[in-house]
Amino acid sequence: MEEQYLELMAKVWETGEHRTDRTGVGTRSLFGEQISFDLTERFPLLTTKRVFFRGVIEELLWFIAGRTDVAYLTERDVHIWDQWATAEQCGRFGREAGDLGPVYGHQWRNFGGTEVLDDRLTVQTWYPDGVDQVQQLVDELQNNPASRRLIVTGWNPAEADKVTLPPCHTLWQCYVHEDGRLDLQLYQRSADLFLGVPFNIASYALLVHLLAKHCDLLPGRLVMSYGDVHLYQNHADQVVEQLGRTPNPMSDRPLLRVAEGVDIFTATARDVQLIGYTPQAPIPAPVAV
């Protein structure tokens, strides 16, 4: 589980192509890599450094709620989107500070919704007339689980230039086995391997658990497929430090419990319980904005 992540990190750091990037920081990058996690027992939260799991929970519930305002997160003392919610960043698109525009929540719950302007003719909003992809997915999981169309996409070419950070994790597909196990594969166009990917792994593993509980299925396997997977050049010390650590033994890795009868659309952080998470110390690193 975690070993796959560390092996990929070492591979990118040792053999990755040196590339310039949007942020100007520079990366070491590979293309077309994949890792996977068995969710039937332990939860794939890294132990070689602490991951902010409360933030994982609140961000995922924010996506599922269809919200695109950072206030939802800041009210819960989660600040992982603050760098993209400043007056300067939002003002580039005619929006007020905190209004992130058509990011994940909009695409998941109102894909293609009609864009409008409010009375001030400055702040962009969207009518709720788009496609609720998550509701469609849940309906299909419950009524047509063998479907090959169990897909949610966050990538909308018509709106990718309307936000500072277009969706990095762009498309996910579910697969239900005959024995009721639920698998999920994510395609991620851009993957910040040190800072972002540990969060993404935990988020989509949690999503599998929530979907499975809601639809009376069992968590199965999580597959993470990457386009450009990279390490930023200014994370060199952090990468070396993490690669020098040994993951906790499997028996000392966390378990996840989701409340019985949970509804994915009304779930709260109180419905999720992480058991036995004893990671090593955090490894802080700067975010490339």
- Residues recognised as catalytic: 168
Task: Give the largest CA-CA distance in the chain.
Answer: 58
Q: How far apart are CA 74 and CA 80, in angstroms?
A: 9
Q: How far apart are CA 187 and CA 172, in angstroms?
A: 6
Q: How far is CA 5 from CA 19, 63, 163, 201, 289, in A?
A: 21, 25, 29, 10, 23
Q: How far apart are CA 171 and CA 8, in angstroms?
A: 21
Cβ contact 182:220 at 8 Å: yes
The alpha carbon of residue 259 and the mean position of all alpha carbons in its chain are separated, in whole angstroms, by 21
Cβ contact 13:28 at 8 Å: yes
Q: If you ran DSSP here, which 8-state letter would residue 266 be given?
A: T
165-172 long-range contacts, CB within 8 A, separation 24+: 165/84, 165/103, 167/103, 167/104, 167/107, 168/192, 168/196, 168/200, 169/200, 169/204, 172/204, 172/207
Closest CA to 69 of 88, 50, 46, 85: 85
Quick check: helix, strand or coil at residue 175? Answer: strand
